[in-house]
A and B are shown apart, each in its own frame.
Chain A
Amino acid sequence: MTSTIPTAQPLPEAAPPASPAPSAGPSRLRHSRPDLLLCGGLLTAILLVQGWNITGFPALSDDEGTYLAQAWSVQEGRGLAHYTYWYDHPPLGWLQMALVTWLPAAVSPGLMAVAPMRCAMLLVSAASAVLLYVLARRLGLRPWAAGLAMGLFGLSPLSVVLQREIFLDNIAVMWVLLAFCLAASPRRHLWHHFGAGLAAAVAVLTKETMLVVLPALLVTMWQHSHRATRKFAVTGAVTACGLTGLTYPLFALLNHELVPGPGHVSLWDGITYQMSRPGSGFLLDEGSGAHAALRSWLYYDRVLPLGGLAAAVLLVAAWRWSAAARPPAGPALAVLLLTAMALRPSGYLPAMYVIQALPFLALALAGSVHALSHVVRGEEGSGGRTRRRRVVVGSGVTAAVALAGVLVVPHWYDANRTALTTDANAPYRAAHAWMSDRTHVPDPARTRVLTDDALWLDLVHAGYRPGTGAIWFYKADLDPAVARTLPRGWRDVDYVVASPTVRRDAATLPLVRAALEHSRAVVSFGEGEDRVEIRRIDRRDRDTP
């Protein structure tokens, strides 16, 4: 590996021929039977594994409820959120969700709840998986390597768990993958690159943390554009991305909510809040929140996060002397950027942070295996490489792959079996059923419940008034508009659906804490930490001033 061999170099810098005959062009990919079969087969497997028991596992998360409820609010014409939209995130993510779920919600309003709507995420997963395959092929990976990337991305237990959930990150990943695919367009078309900028902007407006990945996208585009047209292509893409991104501040400006002022929320405040969120500590510090997040990822899968990271380092380091390592170096750079971001000790690291890295980790892993296979087959590096050394390296790599298989397959099998069979949401369903039962709660429309976001839509469909009847528990403390409707504090509340989230966060929420203290469990579903209790506020406590 001492000299640069142009075998896998996809970027001829000389003036191209006038005939449009790019290698591995989109038309070729679309009409290539092995590619279609492989991609289609993997897609079926991914959809089966991710789709089976999607409503049962993992446990419904608060964030899923938040975004879906805001999508519901958009569908109902109540604005960007049923509480005051305060620029916590750009709204494009749940606007898309509202669009996708519009038809099923129109047919059957009850479907617009977290568990059933997880099915919509299958569309996102499918699109992302196919885009990853296309991207891998466009970056010069052979079909088997592209299939490896797609399989790692779609079937890793970590992906299965996280991609099932209604997270903005999953939608943003789809857009950023589209951006990468367009940036690596084999036709090097100006408007493909422009489209890459647009898609990148949509990704950022879906989940703002995608900003971190943009430099890697730029590198990919730079690599895949031609010298003669590069300045137009890259400038166009940057312009498209910037201008589209500016619609968000423009939107705030048009609402007179760009800068802080009395009596209204503002984009500035939203950004300040996000930037000043208490850090979750250093990732490698055992006691930190960031480390807990890391542990939860590694619990599901070690191969993809750790193997992918190592592969990314390898690819970026091999940039100079390996032609096969260069094309997937862009995605590998994305991994490094995301890792660097996660290693900031002061930063806030949410549990879903890893979602954005998943496709790039998978691509880096598959890309490095692909590059190694080039080395083994002697397609790269020339001087002094003897047949025997090749055999040695080859058998070494084969042994490593076999070992990885032995280590990976049983763990993946177990973890995915859990995902396919465990019902983690029985307590939620039971709580929903109890709250909907008129023999328990005769008049939902006049009953006020503190609940977490995951169950909120179910309660709304059961007849509780959205916002002031069914109340996101933390809004009772944090949103002045909601607090005004509870003049006597916890005494104005009838029930608390105490899920693990509610019990955990009550520590910092006085009203919720008081409501929990002055209530008793009427019924409890599930066991131990994961139980969901329905607590009624004590009548006697309530009427004493």
Chain B
Amino acid sequence: MLTAAFVCVVSLALFWMAAFTLWWQMHAWRTPETLAATRFAPPRDKGSLSFSLLVPARHEQAVLEHTVTRLLESTHADYEVLVVVGHDDPGTTEVAERVAARAPGRVRVIVDTHEKKNKPKALNTALPHCRGDVVGVFDAEDQVHPELLSHVDHAFRETGADVVQGGVQLINFHSSWYSLRNCLEYFFWFRSRLHLHAAKGFIPLGGNTVFVRTGVLREAGGWDPHCLAEDCDLGVRLSSRGKRVVVAYDSEMVTREETPGSLMCLLKQRTRWNQGFLQVYRKRDWRQLPTLAQRMLARYTLMTPFFQAFTGIIVPLNIAVALFLDVPAGIAVVTFLPAVTMLVTFVFEIVGLHDFGAQYGLRVRLVHYLKLVAGGPFYQLLLAGAAVRAVWREQRGQGDWELTRHVGAHLAQEPVREGVAR
């Protein structure tokens, strides 16, 4: 009897967690009107704001030139590119200097001399040098659409926003089974979930294609140099202070990226994010959010990696209990609720993959759908592993930056498609 009650409680808790996550994940597709509202409004002019685009680059000599060259193709009139390199990284510095020499006035190189380096420190180093009204952040491997700045400019002016988050999309879904899932994660996050966060007034920002009014950023003291998820932290701090954040997603306008090159890299990256989320949670900035619903959303979102890990372990256990222990059939049906919700999530992921393919003009084959389904449990395992690893590292005070290396898979294998059919 006690077992039955316990199993029921756990199952229902898991069910609600999974249901809420699913609800939020599907936010953008709730109604046709919601979906239409997630897009950039088309700009009517070339823009009137000025931009300072920060590109922190560390050991990125392979991709940096391509990225900056592409940034320089922007149709916007008024912007500058600040490449931030380390004083101990001559390879990247050389590439950066070369590009800067080709576009004097547009591109500047900022040297970060911190002894221990990480992304927030690099960004903070560049912040005083920014001359634009708006600071934008891009990673060294990003492919940025030439018209993005005009759209962002328009979004700032039309909505009066303090922050505009653009879409980021991993594209190389065909590289491996985990990159497929990784791409889809990004798709659901930037296509859908972030819009919900923007609407609710609590948002963990993304690491790039994020634009902040320079004054607001300076007032907030820039990025937290000790946080492993400085992007998320910035979003939480700004939204907790009531700053208005707008998210816009347009498959033509997204910044294209690549997935981590190996499973280990992905694990490290995810560990870093999870640890970062944990740090943000413990910094308690989110407690200043005005409403209880917002605070609950913040609490839940920042703890999500750990809920995910928990769910991944408990759901199979739960089914085992239902099938092999002698519990009443009614209770056993309850234990299947979380699994059923996961199945629904799976199905929506399959539809999401189809939509992803349609949006980006990519050919998604049957084998990819099969990989998506078959890879699900293993990816769950990976997420659980990263969550456990993050807690472990945080407990032991290991706060150093595990960098993700980029090989440019998305550049070589996936030619940039302009104006893909939707």
Chain A residues engaging chain B, CB cutoff 8 angstroms: 15-20, 187-191, 226, 228-229, 231-233, 235-236, 239-240, 243, 247, 250-251, 254-255
Contact = CB atoms under 8 A, between A and B. Distances in A.
A239 B347 contact: yes
Given A190-B31, A232-B351, A255 B329 contact: yes
B355 interface: yes
Nearest to A246: B340
Given A18-B37, A240-B344, A229 B329 contact: no
Interface string B306-335: 000000000000000011000001001100
B36 A18 contact: yes
Q: Which 9 A-B pairs have the closest CB atoms?
A: A226-B32, A254-B329, A232-B29, A239-B347, A18-B37, A254-B332, A16-B32, A190-B30, A229-B29
Contacts of B32: 15-16, 188, 226, 228-229
For chain B, the bracket of interface size reads 20 to 34
Nearest to B30: A190
A255 B328 CA distance: 9
B347 A235 contact: yes
A275 B420 CA distance: 52
B344 A18 contact: no
B33 A18 contact: yes
Given A190-B26, A190-B29, A228 B347 contact: no
Contacts of A229: 29-32, 35
A95 to B, nearest CB: 10
Contact of B36 (A16, A235, A239): A16
B36 A228 contact: yes
Nearest to B329: A254
A524 B37 CA distance: 74
A262 B30 CA distance: 50
Contacts of A255: 329
A510 B345 CA distance: 55
Interface string B334-361: 0010001001100110110011000000
5 contacts: A19-B33, A231-B351, A235-B347, A239-B348, A243-B340
Contacts of B31: 20, 187-190, 226, 229
B348 A232 contact: yes
A232 B344 contact: no
A20 to B, nearest CB: 5
A250 B354 CA distance: 30
B340 A236 contact: no
B29 to A, nearest CB: 4
Contact of A243 (B36, B322, B344, B350): B344
A250 B336 contact: yes
A250 B333 contact: yes
Given A18-B36, A20-B31, A254 B333 contact: yes
B333 A228 contact: no
Nearest to B330: A251
Contacts, number: 70
B344 A231 contact: no
A251 B348 contact: no
Contacts of B350: 235
Nearest to B37: A18
A233 B31 CA distance: 9
B329 A15 contact: no
Contacts of B36: 15-18, 228
Contacts of B35: 228-229
A254 B323 CA distance: 7
A20 B36 CA distance: 11
Contact of B354 (A15, A17, A187, A231): A231
A75 to B, nearest CB: 15
Contacts of B332: 254
Contacts of A235: 347-348, 350-351
Given A191-B30, A235-B351, A247 B344 contact: no
Contact of B344 (A15, A16, A233, A236): A236
Contact of A232 (B23, B26, B322, B340): B26
Contacts of B336: 247, 250
A191 B31 CA distance: 9
Given A191-B30, A232-B351, A235-B351, 5 more contacts: A16-B33, A190-B29, A229-B29, A232-B348, A254-B333
Of A228, A231, A251, chain B has the most CB atoms within 10 Å of the CB of: A228
Nearest to A239: B347
B341 to A, nearest CB: 9
A226 B333 CA distance: 34
Contacts of B322: 254
A243 B333 contact: no
Contacts of B340: 243
Contacts of A240: 344
Nearest to A21: B33
Of A20, A190, A226, A247, chain B has the most CB atoms within 10 Å of the CB of: A190
A328 to B, nearest CB: 22
A195 to B, nearest CB: 13
B159 to A, nearest CB: 12
Interface string B201-219: 0000000000000000000
Nearest to A19: B33
A191 B27 CA distance: 10
Interface in B21-44: 23, 26, 29-33, 35-37
A189 B32 CA distance: 8
A233 B351 CA distance: 10
A194 to B, nearest CB: 8
Nearest to B347: A239
B313 to A, nearest CB: 22
A399 to B, nearest CB: 44
Nearest to A187: B31
A413 B35 CA distance: 52
A415 to B, nearest CB: 44
Of A15, A239, A251, chain B has the most CB atoms within 10 Å of the CB of: A239
Nearest to A255: B329
Nearest to A252: B329
A232 B22 CA distance: 13
A247 B336 CA distance: 9
Contact of A231 (B33, B323, B333, B355): B355
A438 B48 CA distance: 97
Contacts of A250: 333, 336
A189 B31 CA distance: 5
A226 B351 CA distance: 15
Contacts of A232: 26, 29, 348, 351, 355
A250 to B, nearest CB: 7
A228 B29 CA distance: 8
Of B26, B29, B333, chain A has the most CB atoms within 10 Å of the CB of: B29
Contacts of B37: 18
A99 to B, nearest CB: 14
A255 to B, nearest CB: 5
Contacts of B343: 239, 243
A191 B351 CA distance: 15
Of B31, B333, B355, chain A has the most CB atoms within 10 Å of the CB of: B31
